[in-house]
């Protein structure tokens, strides 16, 4: 077993921080969805549980991928980038629906984290370069 003593580059550190922040934000949204599911007077239970479960799974996945990248697990980069790129259609839908104030930052966040994950220092730290 080798221990990599090289410091973690700032690009990777910021990618991990942003992934973890997204996980916390999504967990808060999931908490609100649970509350909304429990207090709704009329709902489609299957759809409500699916959306809530998707939010919970997303939060867990983002947190786990952030942790794996923090431990320099190269295999976590591609799934993290897929989740980040999913912010592009979500942001576009928000912009189309009149929520540009939220859609534009979400799209910028997705592109920004992807840029951090493919930057040369991160690539070297994960053993790709």
Q: What is the pTM of this model?
A: 0.91
Under DSSP, is residue 9 helix (H, G, I), strand (E, B) or coil?
coil
pLDDT tens-digit series, residues 86-108: 999 999 999 999 999 999 999 99
Q: What is the pLDDT of residue 5?
A: 65
The verdict on residue 26 lying in a domain is yes
Helices 100-118 and 77-85: angle between axes, nearest 10 degrees:
160
Closest CA to 67 of 34, 23, 9: 23
The verdict on residue 34 lying in a domain is yes
**CA 29, CA 53: separation in Å to the nearest integer?**
11
- Going by pLDDT thresholds of 50, 70 and 90, the confidence category of residue 6 is confident
The verdict on residue 38 lying in a domain is yes
The verdict on residue 129 lying in a domain is no
The verdict on residue 6 lying in a domain is no
Query: Which domain does 71 fall in, by range?
Result: 11-124
The verdict on residue 44 lying in a domain is yes
Tell me how many domains the chain contains: 1
């Amino acid at each position: 077993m080798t221990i990599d003593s090289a410091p973690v580059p700032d690009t990777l550190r910021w990618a991990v921080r942003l992934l973890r922040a997204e996980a916390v934000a999504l967990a808060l949204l999931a908490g609100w969805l649970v509350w909304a599911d429990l207090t709704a007077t009329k709902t489609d239970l299957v759809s409500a549980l699916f959306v809530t479960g998707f939010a919970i799974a997303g939060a867990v996945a983002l947190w786990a991928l952030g942790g794996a990248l923090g431990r320099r697990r190269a295999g976590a980069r591609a799934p993290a980038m897929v989740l980040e790129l999913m912010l592009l259609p979500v942001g576009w839908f928000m912009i189309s629906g009149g929520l540009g104030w939220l859609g534009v930052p979400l799209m910028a966040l997705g592109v920004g984290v992807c840029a951090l994950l493919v930057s040369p220092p991160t690539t070297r730290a994960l053993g790709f370069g």
